[in-house]
Copies of this chain bind each other. A is one copy, B any other.
Amino acid sequence: MLEISTHALRYYEKEEIIKPERDAQGNRRYTDSHLKWLEFVKKLRETQMPIEQIKKYTQLFKEGAHTSIDRLNLLENHRRTIEIQIETLKTTEAMLDKKITSYKQHLSTVNLSS
């Protein structure tokens, strides 16, 4: 569902990013709130937030309400990195569009002459 491998889940657990519950057999149980958290983590990873920072956020969360400002700052910083990424992608996309157009132009010319 979340497309996170079991191995990756173990890794996140080792890094103290997630701590699933255990059933009577000692097997991991991911509740709805675990899944929600993982979904959030996945989004952060997909947008290039390093594990180390996700770990930091998790730790702040555990420390309680008095860390809200720090968490807000962390999220605002990440928001800025997202903005930068979007800018970079758009610039490159524009460059690619130019190249793609010129390739198409070239190819149609070749076709005409053949």
Interface residues of A, Cβ cutoff 8 Å to B: 40, 43-44, 46-47, 65, 68-69, 71-72, 75-76, 78-79, 82-83, 85-86, 88-93, 95-97, 99-100, 103-104, 106-107, 110
Contact = CB atoms under 8 A, between A and B. Distances in A.
Report how many copies the assembly holds: 2
A93 B44 CA distance: 10
8 contacts: A43-B91, A46-B92, A65-B110, A68-B103, A68-B110, A72-B103, A75-B103, A86-B89
Given A88-B46, A88-B47, A89-B89, A100 B72 contact: yes
A100 B85 contact: no
Contacts of A68: 103, 106-107, 110
